[in-house]
């Protein structure tokens, strides 16, 4: 981990990074990001945004540029999707996080979004990392599905080295031999990150499991493991979701999850995740 001049937790950098997005503080509060996998229409996005806001989410997610396995799958609404997300922010006050897939889009996505997301497939897209490193927006860096902690933190290093200090890491599951779940959610990475880096880390149990029934226990486990937040896919009508239908949570279920998270948080009291060295 010697190459991690900026990302690692060491004598020179003992203070944990707090990333501010509006009133939200990653690294200080437990941040819940919720919203649809993709922006499909204005109606779907605004409806979902209002429902997750009512349930207590702090930020809205939604993809306008979708990196899909197949070129024939829905690729996202692009600029139109960004305009819809902007409307959703105006309507709910929720800051927006959305994925950017092309270095040429970075400045444009920054015009609309509060946080730029680098998806799992682009984690090691170094030209994209350099470009978001120059942006004046925080970056949510998802873990590559085949990546080690060291590789992941090196990607964060790219962004930090380019001049952007606001990086939030996001564990979203890795490929293992297990096929029951879409990925294997590696919750052990949360304390590993905390031990080695000062950057905040959140967990995406939706992609991490790909199974609706497992999202709630994994969200609670993420909080217990010391994560700085979660990112959950919520759709106002999951059966109609254009992508990732099986992991789209209905708003009512999300409301229940929020209640349990609050209960767990209050029962954790002043519990301190800092490690004894």
Partner 1 sequence: MTLKDIRKRIDAIDDRILQLLQARMEQVLMASRHKKEVEDAQREQEIFDRIRAGVTSLVEAEFGEKIFELIIGESKRLQNEGRRLMAFQGEHGAYGEEASRAWDSEMVPFPCATFEEVFERVQAGLCDMGIVPVENTWGGSVDRVNRLLIHTDLCVAGAAALCIRHCLLALPDTDHREIRSVYSHPQALSQCRRFLARNHLDPVAYPDTAGAGRMLSETRPKRSAVIASRLCADIYGLEIIKENIQDMEKNITRFLVLSRKPAQEGDKCSIVFATEHKAGTLFNVLQVFAGKAINLTRIESIPNEPGDYAFFLDFEGSDRDPSVEKALAQVQKMTTRFRLMGCYTERRIP
Angstrom distance (rounded) from CA 34 to CA 249 = 10
CA distance 199 to 13: 11
Residue 196 makes contact with partner 1 by CB under 8 A: no
Residues 41-80 vs partner 1: string with x where CB under 8 A? --------------------------------------x-
Q: Where are the beta strands (DSSP E) in 188-228?
A: 201-203
Looking at the chain, the number of H-run helices and the number of E-run strands are 9, 10
d(CA 182, CA 147): 16
- Return the residue of 1, 41, 108, 211 that touches partner 1, per CB under 8 A: 108
Question: Least CB distance from residue 107 to partner 1, whole Å?
Answer: 5
Smallest distance, partner 1 to C-beta of residue 259, A: 38
Separation of alpha carbons 173 and 110, rounded Å: 27
Which one, 42 or 102, has the nearer CB to partner 1?
102
Q: Is 181 in the site for partner 1 (CB under 8 A)?
A: no
Q: Is residue 87 at the binding interface for partner 1, with CB under 8 A as the rule?
A: no
Angle at 112 between CA 164 and CA 102, to 5 degrees: 65
Cβ atoms of 186 and 173 closer than 8 Å: yes
Report the candidate in 57, 60, 92 with the shortest Cα–Cα distance to residue 219. 57
Q: Which residues share a beta bridge with 140? A: 117, 168
- Shortest gap between Cβ of 154 and partner 1 (angstroms)? 28
Residue from 102, 181, 191, 221 in contact with partner 1 (CB under 8 A):
102
Q: How far is the CB of 231 from partner 1 (least distance, A)?
A: 26
CA 78 – CA 100 distance, rounded (Å): 10
Cβ neighbours of residue 250 closer than 8 Å, sequence gap 6 or more: 234, 235, 236, 238
Among residues 105, 204, 216, 244, the one that binds partner 1 under rule CB under 8 A: 105
Q: Which of 50, 67, 75, 107 binds partner 1 (CB under 8 A)?
A: 107
Task: Please tell me whether residue 127 binds partner 1 under the rule CB under 8 A.
Answer: no
Stretch that binds partner 1, among 10-18, 27-35, 105-113, 139-147 (CB under 8 A): 105-113
Report the residue number, 66 or 182, with the smaller CB distance to partner 1.
66
**What residues line the site for partner 1 (CB under 8 A)?**
79, 102, 104-105, 107-108, 110-112, 136
């Amino acid at each position: 981990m010697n190459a991690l001049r900026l990302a690692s937790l060491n004598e020179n950098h003992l203070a944990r990074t707090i990333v501010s997005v509006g009133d939200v503080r990653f690294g200080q509060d437990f941040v819940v990001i919720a919203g649809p996998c993709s922006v499909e229409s204005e109606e779907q996005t605004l409806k979902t945004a209002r429902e997750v806001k009512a349930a207590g989410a702090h930020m809205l997610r939604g993809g306008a540029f979708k990196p899909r396995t197949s070129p024939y799958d829905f690729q996202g609404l692009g600029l139109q999707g960004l305009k819809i997300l902007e409307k959703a922010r105006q309507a709910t006050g929720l800051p927006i996080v959305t994925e950017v897939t092309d270095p040429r889009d970075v400045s444009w996505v920054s015009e609309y979004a509060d946080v730029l997301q680098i998806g799992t497939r682009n984690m090691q897209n170094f030209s994209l990392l350099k470009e978001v490193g120059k942006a004046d927006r925080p970056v949510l860096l998802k873990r590559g599905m085949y990546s080690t902690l060291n590789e992941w933190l090196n990607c964060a290093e790219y962004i930090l080295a380019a001049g952007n200090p606001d990086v939030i890491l996001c564990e979203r599951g890795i490929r293992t031999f297990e096929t029951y779940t879409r990925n294997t959610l590696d919750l052990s990475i949360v304390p590993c990150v905390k031990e080695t880096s000062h950057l905040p880390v959140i967990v995406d149990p939706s992609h991490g499991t790909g199974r609706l029934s497992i999202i709630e226990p994994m969200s609670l486990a993420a909080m217990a493991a010391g994560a700085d937040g979660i990112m959950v896919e919520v759709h106002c009508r999951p059966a109609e979701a254009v992508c990732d239908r099986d992991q789209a949570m209905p708003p009512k279920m999300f409301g229940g999850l929020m209640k349990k998270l609050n209960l767990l948080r209050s029962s954790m009291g002043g519990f301190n995740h800092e490690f004894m060295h």
